[in-house]
Each structure stands twice: as structure tokens, then as C-alpha cells.
Structure 1
Amino acid sequence: MLLCLFRKWEERLKDIEELASSYKRRPLCPRYKPQLSKPWQATPVWKLFHRQTQAFNFAKTCKQDVHVFALEKNAENKQRIYLVTTYTELWFYYRTYNETSLMHCYEVIPEEAVCKLYFDLEFYIPANQEADGKQMVADLIEFICKKIDEHYGIKCSLEDVLNLDSSTKEKFSCHLIFLLHNAAFKNNIHIGNFLRKFLQPAVLLTRKRDATVPVVVSRSQSCKAATDLPSSLENQTVTKDVSHKNPDLSFLIVNGKHGEKQLFVDLGVYTKNRNFRLYKSSKAGNSVVLDIAEDNRFVPEPVKNSCIEEQYFLSSLICNVRFSDSLKILSCDNPKEAKEKSTDLDGSVSNGGYQFSPYPEIDNFVLFLVNKDNVQGGIRRWNYFSLEQLLVYDISKYRWCMNIGRAHKSNNIMIVIDLKSENWYQKCHDPVCRAENFKSECEYFFVLPTILQLLMLSVGVVNTVVLLVFLSLKSCKPIPDLTEFL
């Protein structure tokens, strides 16, 4: 009897020791619990979805600054699930979970979202024995900085570029993230247009060097811009011109696995809802993570209540761009698309040729706001900030400023729509108003003015007001001022 009890005790002791050893190797992570003493910590939001669309729909309903991330589960079928959470909560778990699907994590870059300039660079080392990856990266950064200065008047250098490396013996691979001073691109489609415009000479050189093999512009997706390039006869003339202007672009041409010529820059990563691998993450089935490159020159500024690793993480996030009056939005339209979108929202010709936002009802609401006092205002352009869920409209012709109580003579205004709080407010491009950091009082926006007009036409103003009172009581929100829509 005693011998039997002793054996059972030994078995239990062995199980406990194995469990303790397991916890030592993979310690349990404490739960994320924001504290009142730490107001910068966001309210917990952690929701998983099997479909990307479901994740985005849920994110739109959250009042917190949430974002969508993709987690790679299986290396064989590349299956992914989608996580909705805040940057703060993700980092809390991300820094600890070293052996979970969190370490195969991707940022989902929302369609139409303002974002940083980013690159995915790679080449197959056995087919490019003489290639110096570090020098190629340095040359590319120098070239892009020069073009940004020429095209947008913005200075940048190696110190403004976060260089993340995940190279192996077989493949050179790195990501570059440009942290421009007070500037970001309208969205990643505009980044693609910008790069195709200035890297087109390299594509032409690729064609010239390898006429027998189709050009592989992108490793992940064929690039439409390549099909829009001149014919072979024109190529020779254009190549001579661009070679003279850009004699060093040949460094961008590398050999593919099968001997084909392709670009060092992957032009296929500038599509809607693109998944871009996070800092410190690896691909499923691979242990090589994206880490700070040896030749990285970017160092984030110290921030109170945040470690340097967290700042590198936040700096690497493509859509981590906060709206401010001084932020310059960089755009580069595709020439074909620009022709199709050459009219402004009020019907007049637009310099930028901007189209409707993803929220046409809100576009109509903004147009109602800026069409009064015998002034027919219009929407010059709009920008979407996914970080704060803001739609920022630059207004044309209508310049009434709530700060000074009159219209500005030459400076335009902005209408800012907060999608989370369902409020709107006005800001200015005027230097004096910007210096004061002026922001008008927030007002609730009613997103159905066109339906209101139809209601008023069909059932009359009185019945429409009765309906609005009923809806207001149901939703506990104020009745919109109907005079805005009459």
C-alpha cells in the first residue's frame, strides 16, 4: 500500500516538475489591465475574426483607436486570422509571446488610409553573388530622398529611414520605412504611383538587358504600370534619355531565381488592404524575424512612459500617422486615373482630381455645410487617418472661419469628421489660426441629408421634423438644424 502511494507521489512530482519547466521556458503573460494612474493605456479590445472584412467592420464600431492585424497560422496554406486591438495592448502581449502566432504578425494597411512611405526589398543571393545589399539600400535611400526633395520640397536622409532586416544565406530581404518630418502619403496607392514614376527608367533598363525574358516587376503581383510603358522602339529612345538623367539606376536590377531580370524593389506591395510584416515578426515556418539592420541609422526620439523597443515598434507601423494642421499630405496620381477624376465634387475642375471618399453620405453632408451665404463651396480633396478614424476635408471657395467670425481672404478651411464620436469641427490653413491651434466646437453630424431632402419633398417639412424628433428621442442625439438643408 505504501509503495503504491509512493509511486503515485513520484508520478505527481514528476508532472509538477515538467509543468514548472514548461512555465519557465514559456512563462505566463499577465493580463493587460490599464490603470487609472497610466492614462496613456487604452481600454482593452482584443477580438479575432476569420475574415478581414469582418475585422474592419468591427473596428469601425469601436470608440478606441483600434487597428486590424493579420496573424499567420499555418506555413503550408498561409491561412491567416485577423485581430482587432490597439497598438498599446498589442505591444503588451507582443513583447512577451515569443512562440505563438503573434510572432507571425502583419499590419493590415487599410484602403485609402494616410501612411508612411515604405519599401519591401529583396534579391536571391546565389544568383547575385557580386551584389552588395547594404550599398544598394544606401543608394536607393539617397535616390528616393533626392526625388522627394525635388517633387515635394521635403528634406530627408538616412537618419529618417528605419531599416529592418530579415536576410538569410539564400535571400537578402529588408523593409524600409521613411519617417518624413510632418509629411505622409495620401495612401499606399499614391506611393505606388510615385515609385513607378521615378523607377520607370529602371524597368526600361531591365527590358533592354533582358529582351528575351519577360520583365518581373513584382514578385508578389504583376505591376500594371509596366504594361503602360512605351513600345520596344520607343524604349530605346526613352532608355537613352533616362540613362543619361539617372546613370546609377542599374543598381536596382537583379537576377531572379530562374535568371530573369527584375527590380530590387517589390512594386506589388502597394495595393489596398496590404498585409505588411511587423517588426520582430517572422513568416510562419521561418524563424528569421524582421530586426534592426546593422546599417540602420534611424533612432526614435525618447518618449515618456515608453521604452526604446516600443518606439521602434511604433515607428515601424505604416499607418501610425497622426493628423495635425502642419502635416503635409503627399499625392501622386496615376495619369490615366487623373483624367477620369478630373472634376471636383461640386462639378468644377479640380487641380488634384479627387474622387468621393468611402463615405458619400458624409461627403454630401460636408457639401451642405459649405454651400451657404451665396457661396458654392466644394471639396478640394479628402484624407483618411485610420489611426484616429478621421476624415479631413480640404474645402475650396468657402472660407468662413468660426475663429475670426468672417471669411479668410486667401486661406482655406478644413472640415474634420470624427467617425468614432460622430462629431465634426472646423480647422484652418491660416497661419494665425494654426498658431492658436484653433479648433471649433464639436458638433454632431447627421449623415443623411439627401434622404432628409427626399423626405421633405415627399411628406413635407413638418412631418420630417416629427420623424426627426422621434429618431432623436430613440438615439438620445440632438436634432440637426434643418436650416442647413433647406
Structure 2
Amino acid sequence: MVAPSRYLLEQQLEKQLRQRTGLSGKQGLHPVPKPFYRQSEALDALHKLTEDVDYTPSQVGLFAQELGAGGKRRFLVNTFAGFALERAPRSWPQDDEPLGNFYEVIQEDRPCWFYFDLEYSRETNPHLDADIVMAAFRKTLACFCREVLQVDLDVTSVLEMESSTERKFSKHVIVKRVRPASGEVRALAFPNNAQAGLLVSSLVQYAALHRADGGDALFVQAPKADDGQEREVCIIDESVYSRNRSFRLLFQSKFGKKRRLDLDAGSAKLAFGVKPHPCFALLETMASFVPDGTELFEHALIPRGFAHMQAKASRSSVIRHKNGSVQAECDPLLNYLIRVWDDIRRLNDTSPMPFEPTSVQSCVEMDERFLTVTLNNNRYCFCKGASHKSNHIYLVVDTQQASFHQKCFDIACRHYASPPFKIPCWIIDTSAEEEEFSNLISAGGDGFQVADVADVPQKRMRISEGGA
């Protein structure tokens, strides 16, 4: 028999969790008790709950449990309150024993907080101090918010979690609030994780341009690839903003690993004041738990309607409409190419004339692997080292390699191809990725493989470093 004091504690915890998540006493804590072995079936069950108005989208979430090596998983539909009550320990762990292998699934069409996966190999960076790395990350993020977003970072809203080992540095960071010049606090939540990923891409570019100001510690040596070549990568993993991404939860470890994801005591003290009950710590550190009524963040860097779902339909429309300017703002890939080539022209073209914003003239699907994207209002060519006066340039996108290079219609440049530029993995939105998730085969789980940073040509790097 459960002791009365324990029973009363459970009742109080449930009541407080229901209040925090907006769950009434009549709504069940566990509306879908059975697990699913296909993510698509779990999503169907979740959508039925919200479409039938039994629950609001902010009350229920999708969770994944690793069952074996190779990414084998099962999926659970549950209320945020019910999951936190069921899966969190009743006291803060005092040992290093793993408590489970659970992840939240950050759904492609649901709000999320500004979240990060930070990591690097300690074996290939033996002299890199983790405290210096985190100080550089915090400073760069704060400067990016102030200089680019025109808001101040609210440090009391930053939650840091760590699962580092002797071989690898690994942290998750959730950021929930900023302070505009008016002084009013604004939530840093987005309509979907594609928008969060877009802003993170801008942050990585900002860090690359400000390496001399402390951002250099954010760029590290990755383990050597199969070809033996050394690679420099950013500690900010950009692959974790893909569709329906699994992101490891507080107190949880990867399958077959002992190291848990634990809450940093310093950030917990700033955020909560006093150490919260583990149930509330688990709930508040979920990137996908955004309560009803939270105002979503908007900024000029984020095109209105930017999302994963619009990508294929938007690009198909572009492929059919080959004449005239194309509206590409809802397509993550085309929007990314526009922003990158705008930056390249700004950094390299010394013309005193003002530039019109870059747009897409046409996008042609050559085959299942390659796209060609012709630009309007931007004719900067790496072969010429300047903008052409009349001939357009075009970008060749390799979806398998997640990269693109620039070519030109000018006869003098016909044999030239620029060095390749990497594209963040989450932007390459393909049916193969969706099938991968549906078959429960997830390469990377919570994104443990560090994504490549754009291999920017030497000319751009020299100018960038000089400008910093």
C-alpha cells in the first residue's frame, strides 16, 4: 500500500502539472496508452486527439523510446503532464545510473523554443577547454541577439543540460525569452523548428564572421572522415532542425550508454530560483512544450510562413514556372540559397551601386539528385571575382551531398565551378528522410553527429577575417 504522504504528494504533483499545462480534471493524463512502432501511426493518433477537440495541441506531445541499437524505437502519444509525472524521478538522482532512453519528438508543424545541440570531439580537440567554449557560445548568442535581432538575451531563461564524457563534449540548451529595448519580455518560441533552424543558420554565419571577437572557440576539428581529410565544424549542430526530430530528454541516456542528460545547476538556479521538483524540470526543459497563449517570435530574418511543409509544394510550383521571378520565401532551400548568395555578394563585390534583393528566377529539377537554381538581381561570379553585367549565374544543388556550387552562363566562365558550399542537413527535405523516420531508423537520434559548417572559399574567408 502506498503511504499516505506519498499519495498526497502524487496528487499535488498531478494538480500542479495539470495547471501548468492547462489540463482540466476531466481530461485523462494518458489518452493513448498503447505504443506505436511507426511514427506515422503515432502522429495520426495525436492529430485525432486535437482534431476531435479532446485536447489542445499544447497539451499533448509525441515521445520516442529507444529499444535497441541502430535507432529502433517505439512512439508514445501522451499529455505533457502525464509524461512528466510518469517518467521523471521523484527525487534528484544522486548516482550516475541511467533512468531511461526517452526523447521528445519536435514535430514539424508545432511550436518550439529556441533550442541547441552543442558538441565536439574531445579526442580531436584535446586542448580545448569546455568552459571557454561555453563562454564563447554564451557571448556570441548574446551579441547575435543584440546586434542582429535587436533584443537582449534574458539569461534567466537559458536552460543548459549536459551529457559530456571523456571522449565527447555534449550539451543541450533551451532559450525561452529575450528583452527588446522597450523592456518588455518576449518569448523566444517559433511556429516550427524550421524557423528555429533558420535563425540558428544565421547565428552560425554570425559566429564565423566574428571569430576574432571570441567566436573562434565555436569552430573545432571534427574526427577525420573516411578519406582522411581534416574538417573544421561548428559546435552548433544544425542537423537537429529536421522534420519530426527526436531530441533527448532530461534524465535520459542513449541506448547502451550510461551518461544521462543532467540539468546544469547554475542555469537551474538562474531560471528557477530554487531547484524544482524533477517533474517540473523535465517539463520545462522540453523544447516542444510551449504553453497556450505564448506569443511566437517574429523577425525580418524569418520569412512569414517559413516551414518544412511548404517546401515540396513551393518547389514544385517553382519548377513548373520557369519564366519570371519566383516567390521562394516559403521554401527553406531556396530561401537559404538566396541568403547565402546575398552575403557572398555583399562580402566580395566592391561596387558602390546599391544591390537589389536576390530572388529566384527559376528552379529546374535535373534528376533525383540535382537541382539548378537561376538567380535574379544577383550576378556575382567567383570566376570573374565580380558581378556580371548581363549574364546570369546559377547554383547547382546536390541533394545527396547537401551542398551547392556556383556556375555561370557567361561563355568565358563556362568551364568554371566554384568550391562547394555545405547546406544544413535539415534543409534538404526529402521523402527519404520521412521514410527513414517512419521505419524507425534514425541516424543520429538527438543529432549527435556534428553537421558540417559551410566550406567557404578562401577568398570569402580572408575578407571575413579581415572585416572582423
Q: TM-score, normalised by structure 2?
A: 0.51
In structure 2, the residue corresponding to 1:48 is in which secondary structure? coil
- What residue is the counterpart of 2:79 in the other structure? 86
**Runs of 5+ in structure 1 lacking a partner?**
1-28, 204-241, 344-348, 356-486
Classify 1:130/1:143 alpha carbon distance in 2 versus 1 (closer, same or farther; 3 Å).
Answer: same
Q: CA deviation at 1:159?
A: 2.7
Cα distance between partner residues in 1 of 2:99 and 2:223: 31
Aligned residues of 2:38 and 2:74 also touching (Cα < 8 A): yes
Q: Deviation of residue 286 (structure 1)?
A: 0.6
1:331/1:106 CA distance change after superposition, 3 Å: farther
1:141 positional shift: 1.8
Aligned to 1:179: 176
Aligned length: 279
| SS of the residue 2:118 aligns to | strand
1:284 matched to 2:284:
no
Q: Is 1:267 equivalent to 2:254 in the alignment? A: no
Counting only pairs closer than 5 Å after superposition, residues 1-16 of structure 1 correspond to structure 2 as: none
Alpha-carbon offset, residue 327 of structure 1 = 4.7
| Counterpart contact for 2:65–2:74, Cα < 8 Å | yes
- Percent identity of equivalent pairs: 24
Determine the structure 2 residue equivalent to 1:315.
Answer: 284
1:54 aligns with 2:41: yes
Matches within 5 A, 1:213-362: 242=209, 247-258=213-224, 259-293=230-264, 295-296=266-267, 299-301=270-272, 307-324=276-293, 326-330=295-299, 332-333=301-302, 353=329
Change (3 A) 1:88 1:60: same
Q: Map residues 61-140 of structure 1 onto 2, 5 A cutoff.
A: 61-62=48-49, 63-64=54-55, 65-74=59-68, 76-96=69-89, 103-140=100-137
Distance 2:14 2:120 in 1: 49
Identify the residue that residue 165 of structure 1 maps to in structure 2: 162
What amino acid is the match of 1:164?
M
Distance 1:35 1:155 in 2: 34
Deviation at 1:202, TM superposition (A): 5.3
Give CA-to-partner distance per residue, 1:245-277, whole Å, 9 cap, x none.
Answer: x63321111112224322111111111101000
Q: Return the structure number with greater relative CO, CA threshold 8 A, min gap 6.
A: 2
Q: What is the correspondence of 1:307-456 to structure 2 with a 5 Å cutoff?
A: 307-324=276-293, 326-330=295-299, 332-333=301-302, 353=329
8 A contact 2:303–2:330 mirrored in 1: no
Match of 2:463 in 1: none
Kindly tell me: are residues 331 and 72 of structure 1, through their superposed partners in 2, closer, same or farther at Cα, counting changes over 3 Å?
Answer: farther
Aligned residue for 1:276, secondary structure, equals strand
- Measured on the aligned residues, the alpha-carbon RMSD in Å equals 4.1
The Cα offsets for residues 275-299 of structure 1, whole Å up to 9 and x where unpaired, read as: 0000110000011100022553654
Structure 2: distance between partners of 1:271 and 1:171: 23
2:200 alignment counterpart? 195
SS of 1:152's partner is coil
For residue 185 of structure 1, report the CA deviation from its aligned partner.
2.1
User: How big is the shift at 1:300?
Assistant: 3.8
Question: 1:60 Cα deviation (Å)?
Answer: 1.3
1:70–1:107 Cα contact (<8 Å) kept? yes
For 1:84, the aligned partner's letter is: V
**Deviates further, 258-267 or 46-55:** 258-267
Cα contact 1:69–1:108 (8 A) shared by 2 = yes
DSSP-derived class of the 1:117 partner: strand
- Secondary structure of residue in 1 paired with 2:151: coil
Change (3 A) 1:331 1:290: farther
Tell which structure's C-alpha radius of gyration is larger.
Answer: 1
Is the Cα–Cα contact under 8 Å of residues 204 and 234 in structure 2 kept in the other structure? no
Whole-angstrom CA distance in 2 between matches of 1:325 and 1:291: 26
Residue identity in the other structure for 2:42 = A
The amino acid that maps onto 1:249 is: G
AA partner of residue 55 (structure 1): A
Aligned-residue offset at 1:152: 3.1
State the secondary structure of the residue aligned to 1:282: coil
Cα pair 1:141 1:157 within 8 Å, conserved: no
| Cα 1:102/1:69, change in 2 over 3 Å | farther
What is the deviation of 1:35? 11
